[in-house]
Amino acid sequence: MSFFIVNNKTLIGNLIYGMMDRRERLMGKKIVLLVLVSLLVFSLVGCGPSKEVKEVESVINAIDAIGEITLESGAAIVAAEEAYNNLPEEGQLSVTNYELLLQMREKYDAIKNAEDLASSGDLLGAYYALNNVAKEKRDASFEQRIENARDNVISDSTLKANNMLGEFDYVGVYELLSSLPNDFKSDEIQNLINMASDSYEADILSKAESQVASGDYDSAIKILNDAYKQMPLAAFLAAVEDYQNESDIAFLQSAKNQVAVKYDNIGKTYAIGPPGLSLDNLNISTNRNVEPAVRYAENKGTIFAIAIGFQQRDWIFIDKILIDCDGEQYEYKISYGDRQSQVLYGGGVVEWYWLKQYPIQGIDFSDLSGLIESMSTANTVTIRFSGKGKLDVVIPKNHIDELETLWKIYNILDRNSSLISYLK
């Protein structure tokens, strides 16, 4: 509209200017200029603000009118958003307080979410819903909402914790209060945590001690380990270590007469094996197919090994060993380099294979725990040697018992090698 008026004014001026002679033109320049300026001022003042300008001003005013954000602000925010969205792109760019509207929407959503969470009983979730709004977007009233939400969590948690203490639910108190943010843990909250942990510690240690008094170290250690998973108190770990040492010492003292021990003073090594067998030579024979052994070298660590083999007249050239424990089977494929053999004086051969477990830089070459547990609990353990021939043997129960004893000695020394002194 303005463009049309201005251009028409220019056209009129040109017509008037063209009708004048040279002298009149020179004299009339000022008059024409005054006419054009007057028409321009009239067009600009006389038209007033456009519809688009009024709509932008309406949106700006609607945003400013929202004021403090509460649960009742939702309708006003939606109305302002709809009015803004209805503006053309040029008009939206002119809404100077649109960022304020975005902040209002974020705060309203946080307040609404917090209210829903609080209604469902999740007071801590309600606090986080409010506290997740960036600090620079908060006003004093919003900060007060966060503080109120924090106070509600502390008050509710304190009440619940006191009720749990009355019911001796020490783990419940610990889990409830320990999960609170650190700045929630007032002196009262911390005192409740300490009361729960002290009471639980005393209760568990008493139960473990009663098991130890009856000689049942395994049950005592299990009680302590299970309790530690519920409440990770240092006293439980210390008690486990103490009881484990006491249990290990008692076992080594009782096993001392059940094994053969030889110490090499030059090599600083211990050889431990079944009683009555040579600790310097292999003892696989027609009557023994399993020979466990423990070797301990000072400052080097502990090795556990099982020689599995047979003695007979003919070669099998074993390439596979299958150990059957009441149907549960363990298969070992034997390479040419791993198969050991010996021709006996007077006729016959011995073939065997070493199963070994020893840590190098914390890594076990093989984990024999599953195999040994299965062999120890099975009613019948049968070993099949396969190659160019086949041989099945049943392992006697006393040989299995020797295996179990030496395996336990290995694990004790692997935990604490200083206990080797109890086998001397």
pLDDT in tens, 54-100: 999 999 999 999 999 999 999 999 999 999 999 999 999 999 999 99
- pTM (two decimals): 0.67
Sequence letter at residue 202: A
Over residues 313-355, the pLDDT tens digits come to 999 999 999 999 999 999 999 999 999 999 998 889 999 999 9
DSSP state of 261: E
Answer yes or no: is pLDDT of 25 > 90: no
Residue 49 — very low, low, confident or very high, per pLDDT cuts 50/70/90?
low
* Block residue for tokens 């007057």: 38
Considering the chain, what percentage of its residues have pLDDT values greater than 90?
Answer: 82
3-class DSSP state of 231 = coil
DSSP state of 379: S
pLDDT (mean) for 264-285: 94
Answer yes or no: is pLDDT of 38 > 90: no
> Higher model confidence: residue 359 or residue 309?
309
Number of H helices and E strands in the chain, helices first, is 14, 12
Residue 31 — very low, low, confident or very high, per pLDDT cuts 50/70/90?
very low
φ/ψ (deg, to 5) at 271: -115, 130
Answer yes or no: is pLDDT of 178 > 80: yes
> Higher model confidence: residue 23 or residue 408?
408
DSSP state of 298: T
Report DSSP letters for 385-416, one per residue.
EESSSEEEEEPPHHHHHHHHHHHHHHHHHHH-
Residue 42 — very low, low, confident or very high, per pLDDT cuts 50/70/90?
very low
- Hey, which bits of 158-280 come out as E strands? 260-264, 269-273
pLDDT reported for residue 13: 44
C-alpha 16/C-alpha 23 separation (Å) is 14
Residue 30 — very low, low, confident or very high, per pLDDT cuts 50/70/90?
very low
pLDDT reported for residue 406: 97
Over residues 243-261, the pLDDT tens digits come to 999 999 999 999 999 999 9
Can you read off the two tokens belonging to residue 1? 């509209």
Can you read off the two tokens belonging to residue 323? 């150990």
CA 184-189-190 angle, to 5 degrees, is 100
pLDDT reported for residue 12: 39
Candidates 108, 118, 129; CA nearest to 153 is 118
pLDDT reported for residue 44: 39
Q: Which H helix or E strand runs over 223? A: helix 217-230
pLDDT (mean) for 124-147: 95
Q: Half-sphere exposure of 35 toward its Cβ, with a 13 Å CA cutoff?
A: 14
pLDDT (mean) for 16-24: 46
> Higher model confidence: residue 199 or residue 8?
199
Residue 365 — very low, low, confident or very high, per pLDDT cuts 50/70/90?
low
Residue 17 — very low, low, confident or very high, per pLDDT cuts 50/70/90?
very low
pLDDT reported for residue 359: 59
Kindly report which listed range (19-33, 165-179, 334-348, 385-399) carries the lowest average pLDDT score. Answer: 19-33
Answer yes or no: is pLDDT of 298 > 90: no
pLDDT (mean) for 127-138: 94
Residue 23 — very low, low, confident or very high, per pLDDT cuts 50/70/90?
very low
Residue 32 — very low, low, confident or very high, per pLDDT cuts 50/70/90?
very low
357, β-bridge pairs: 304
Can you read off the two tokens belonging to residue 272? 């431990």
Answer yes or no: is pLDDT of 5 > 70: no
Answer yes or no: is pLDDT of 264 > 80: yes
Residue 301 — very low, low, confident or very high, per pLDDT cuts 50/70/90?
confident
